[in-house]
Amino acid sequence: MHTPGNINKQIVNLAIPNIISNFSIPLLGAVDTALMGRLASEHYLGAVGIGGIIFSFIYWGFGFLRMATTGLTAQAFGENDIPECGRLLLRAICIGITSSLFLLGLQRQLADISFHLIDTSPEVENLARTYFYIRISAAPATLCLHAFHGVFLGLQNAHYPMLLTIVVNLVNIVLNLIFVQTLGMKVEGVALATVIAQYVGLILAILLFFGRYRSILTTWNLRDVLMFSKLKRFLSISSDIFIRTCCLTFSHAVFMAKSAALSDTFLAINTILLQFVNILSYAIDGFAFAAESLVGKYKGAQDMQNLKRTTRQIFLWAFLFGGVIMLIFVVVGEQLLHLFTNQMHLIEGAKPYLIWIIVAPVINVAAYIWDGIFLGATASKALRNSVFISTVLFLGSIYLLIPFGNHGLWGALTLLLVARGISLTVLAPKYLFKSDCSR
């Protein structure tokens, strides 16, 4: 039996690498925003914001390749079924490659649908299309990286995902600076840097896996990988997570579309403010990823006592960490705006909405952490239903609150997070803390 001290040690050992790696993700977004925010026109900033939300919708939609793989691998690890961990990686890679070919084949249709749904100016749309058609070529690398991240986390190894994320984002940032500042490229430079960095990350992931886990694949065969019952369970959980993620990314897409409908200036302002939300979410997700790994392990081992203890301790850590971030936003929130743009009308325009950023660290924690816990337990149907209900509430509230302008948009987005946290708290006793909590 693990004592609270041992649980905390495991949480810290998993959370710290995840926090470090996750912080490099919004750093990349911040660099993109800062580079575009210093160009002559705000259209470049809006184009990267719109392009980013489109790829969030696409790639987060396939986030099940990491999430389902993490939970299932952690459970196999808890059961001491190490060969199944390797088979899970191969299943996820097969699905990832197939899905990426689908995305590449339908890229023009995806672009047309995306820009039909997002109401923005012709100038921003033309620039965002340029960004889209370049970045979509990274699909195979991006989806396969999801699979590798999932297996590494399921094997209780947070250091490899940290290394991968840092390397990918450092390569991306360096190439951004070279392409935009040195070579004079604009949105096409930001997109090309992302594509190259993703393939560098995939090569590194393959090298890391075979360097340490080569033996996991020694007993695999195609029949085991494609075993119907195992594949069916993987796809069932993945479909629930896919629906959950589509709901969330659709909500953020609606938020950005409504921002663009207000004006290009509000689109640029909200693109900047969302960088603060990204910093928060990626920081707290360090603990959510730790929850996926540990809850999955204890669920696989049928150790409900330590599963409950892990849940309590992770919430404690996450709320403390969220409080620190909230304090940082209170003290230096206005100063941080200058990191993202030197256009004073955008900085002044963003200040009235910082209050939504300041309260976010406390409000959003429950939704983020419950996500990780439910994913680790592969309680996917409950997670799907919670997000679906929350999304319906968000869509209703955004139309009720839109008369209040940009404050109304941020109020609706905040309500989305509140609804997720409350609904998952209500569902947790039924779906998590018993031996049959996988569904």
Task: Please report how many Cα atoms fall inside a 13 Å half-sphere around the Cα of residue 90, on the Cβ side.
Answer: 19
DSSP 3-state of 384: helix
Q: Which of 166, 175, 137 is nearest to 31 (CA)?
A: 175
In this prediction, residue 25 carries a pLDDT of 61
Q: What is the pTM of this model?
A: 0.82
* C-alpha to C-alpha distances, 346 to 32, 253, 328, 424, nearest whole angstrom: 16, 21, 21, 36
- Examine the pLDDT at 425 and tell me if it is beyond 70: yes
- Examine the pLDDT at 56 and tell me if it is beyond 80: no
Average pLDDT, the chain: 87
- List pLDDT tens digits, range 396-413: 999 899 889 999 999 999
- List pLDDT tens digits, range 230-262: 888 989 999 999 899 888 878 988 898 899 888
276 pLDDT band, cuts 50/70/90, is confident
DSSP 3-state of 301: coil
Domain residue limits, the chain: 4-431
What tokens appear for 391 in the block?
Answer: 């999304």
In this prediction, residue 437 carries a pLDDT of 46
- List pLDDT tens digits, range 285-317: 889 999 999 999 999 888 888 899 999 999 999
On whether the CB atoms of residues 364 and 279 are closer than 8 A, the answer is no
In this prediction, residue 32 carries a pLDDT of 67
Q: What is the CA radius of gyration of the chain?
A: 21
- List pLDDT tens digits, range 117-172: 777 778 788 888 888 899 999 999 999 999 999 999 999 999 999 999 889 988 98
